[in-house]
Amino acid sequence: MAKNTAIQKILAAHMVSGDAVPGNPVSIRIDQTLTQDATGTMAYLELEAMKVPKVATELSVSYVDHNMMQNGPENRNDHLYLQSVAASKGVVFSRPGNGICHQVHLERFGKPGKTLLGSDSHTPTGGGIGMMAIGAGGMDVALAMAGKPFRMAYPKIIGVELTGSLSPWVAAKDVILKLLSILSTKGNVGCMVEFFGPGVATLSVPQRATITNMGAELGVTCSVFPSDEVTKKFLEAQGRGDDWSPLCADADAEYDRVIPIDLSTLEPLAACPSSPDNIKSIAELSGMKVGQVIIGSCTNSSFRDLSMVAAMLKGRQIHPDVTLAIAPGSRQVLKMLADSGDLAVIIAAGARILECGCGPCIGQGQSPANDTVTVRTFNRNFPGRTGTKGDQAYLVSPETAAAAAILGEFGSAEKLGIEFPQINDPDAFQIDDTMMIQPPADGTGVEIIRKPTIGNPPLNTPLPDALDGEIVIKTQDKTSTDDIMPAGVHLKHRSNIPEYAKVVFERFTEPGKPSFAQRAAAVRDAGRHGVILGRDSYGQGSSREHAAICPMYLGVKMVIAMAIERIHAANLVNFGIVPLTFVNKEDYDKIDQGDRIAVAGLRDAIMEDVVTATVTKQDGTSFDVQLAVKLSAEDRAIILAGGRLNM
């Protein structure tokens, strides 16, 4: 008798190699890819370096949604490169202004039962439509576009059983915030989440996508909803009914863990500063003054979300002490808001309308004032991500955010004295794909535009026979890729590695002291190897492979931590940096920045399960530490070569 989950069914249909045993290395076929401009430029440069004439996927789409400010020529230079290389390689190009990649892909391209690999950590949004949608580094996406399978560990599957239905003023955002309060942001590497149960049918596809989008903060590989009649109706409304296929778990499917959530018992929640799993109820925060509200991002910018906001704002003004900004997720959403009259309502209430893009979610504008509570419908509130040091960012649903904008403080939406608006998805969405540029059948004659601000992906050197290292930095728990490679105003340098590498770990630079880049360069120039020391959940957050590329450029050869998050660990391998974890976690406390670390016979050592390293303190004393090697045979071969491009 079959006992397969929906996830296992997708995996079985796409397995290329490996055994279906949790933790075992497997390879799966990738049907679709997506890139965005902040990570995509490097991905296509890597694709070019592989001498690939045309993508081998069923569909690949290049989106421009991150670097929209165009403060200087760098961003537009990237856009021109992306548009021309897409035409050359057989990739659909979504022009600037068409919308956020995850929102647009859900609307126009997502297909149940398919696999999607994206160079953005929130690619799992596609799980809301029944896809296995996985975030990865640009190198892995470039390899998928070249027709290579995606390497991963066969997952443990966490089943989330949904029962009941959401009460008024409780949103899909509160479902994922509740799950984050249970699972936290760490300890879930190697897992996937599957939703099942009678409560699933009460959630629309955009609501499901909100949940799978922010599921990325759990640290799981992806999250998947079944494909049912609700999915079919959504695709039909998008004019894509033929793309629907049913997908659900067998009645007797078995999960590695089951978490029950009764939707009817949930209440409005918030992720408090400065982690998505620091969860409190809105009731607990009631009365806290709010200075800024922003509604949008790939998590909460659907037509339903913003129609709800308009219904709450109708006939009202935002509080005089609050600024409210709205960022529609796609051109489709913006046009439908305009035609329905909801956009006029939002503007009349005093909101500022932002471009259909990622914008403030990645620190591109709308940074809050000092000592100001900012309430956002986003997915991350890592320290400083807003662009303001010491920020106080709270993550909530559109319903809670709109109430805060009107009240000027946290409080129940019921205080507004209005009846809960019943917002349903339309029977037909407005379809306008004119800002999607289809590639020519033969792109061999297309000239690829490469302006002077675009460089080439740097190559690493093969792994040395012995490591003569120095700890360049020691970080604490939950060091994110935002911490390693800041976004915001620095994003425009992502196609210029020497320039971008100057700001590695910029947030940890003390006034008047050398930066990480300066210290790492000094270690490299002295003929030694840079080593990064992290604690738990090192490399969480964004898929940005620059968090591996730029340290590699500065001479880093090894990262040691208690635990390294999945995407970042894969990026380290792709660029020839050895990721190791402590066998004895207590050893972390014995090592400091500036200590020397050596591994004799390194190339042979990483072929074993444990590496012995000798740490020499700055006072001359020394001791040995045991470091675990959790790498596949292919990972080890890549590291020995100095990275994927070297291979």
Phi, psi of 29 (to 5 degrees): -75, 140
The one catalytic residue in 88, 274, 542, 543 is: 542
What's the sign of the alpha-carbon dihedral 8, 9, 10, 14?
Answer: positive
The one catalytic residue in 120, 243, 482, 595 is: 120
The one catalytic residue in 65, 78, 243, 305 is: 65
Asked whether the beta carbons of 142 and 89 are under 8 A apart, the reply is no
Query: Tokens for 336?
Result: 């439908």
Separation between Cα atoms, residue 406 and residue 103, nearest integer Å: 27
Asked whether the beta carbons of 495 and 78 are under 8 A apart, the reply is yes
What is the distance between the terminal CA atoms of the chain, rounded to a whole angstrom? 44
Per-residue three-class SS string for 298-359: CCCCCHHHHHHHHHHHCCCCCCCCCEEEECCCEHHHHHHHHHHCHHHHHHHCCCEECCCCCH
| 65 counts as catalytic | yes
Separation between Cα atoms, residue 217 and residue 173, nearest integer Å: 13
Asked whether the beta carbons of 223 and 127 are under 8 A apart, the reply is yes
| 592 counts as catalytic | no
Tell me whether residue 352 is exposed, middle or buried, using C-beta atoms within 10 angstroms of its C-beta: 0 to 12, 13 to 18, 19 or more: middle
For residue 237, count other CB atoms closer than 10 A to its CB: 17
Number of H helices, E strands in the chain: 20, 27
| 305 counts as catalytic | no
| 380 counts as catalytic | yes
Report residue 541 CA to chain centroid gap: 6
DSSP E strand stretches across 352-450: 352-353, 373-376, 392-395, 436-437
| 542 counts as catalytic | yes
For residue 101, count other CB atoms closer than 10 A to its CB: 31
Asked whether the beta carbons of 271 and 279 are under 8 A apart, the reply is yes
Asked whether the beta carbons of 352 and 323 are under 8 A apart, the reply is yes
The one catalytic residue in 31, 37, 60, 66 is: 66
Angle at 138 between CA 133 and CA 142, to 5 degrees: 85
How many residues make up the chain in this entry? 647
For residue 168, count other CB atoms closer than 10 A to its CB: 11
**Looking at the DSSP assignment, which residues form a beta bridge with residue 436?**
94
Q: What is the DSSP string of 592-643?
A: -TT-EEEETTHHHHTTSSEEEEEEE-TTS-EEEEEEE----HHHHHHHHHTS
Separation between Cα atoms, residue 205 and residue 610, nearest integer Å: 45
Distances (CA, A) of 299 to 106, 208, 213, 250, 459: 12, 10, 6, 29, 35
Supply the angle between the helices 398-407 and 303-313 in degrees, to the nearest 10: 30
Separation between Cα atoms, residue 182 and residue 324, nearest integer Å: 31
The one catalytic residue in 79, 105, 494, 544 is: 544
Reduced to 3 states (helix: H, G, I; strand: E, B; else coil), residue 111 is coil
583-614: string of b/e by CB count within 10 Å (b at 16+)?
A: eeeebbeebeeebbbbbeebbebbeeeebebe
| 544 counts as catalytic | yes
Are β-strands 323-326 and 292-295 bridged in parallel, bridged antiparallel, or unpaired? parallel
Query: Tokens for 286?
Result: 């009631």
What DSSP character marks residue 440?
A: P
| Active site (catalytic) residues | 65-66, 120, 380, 542, 544
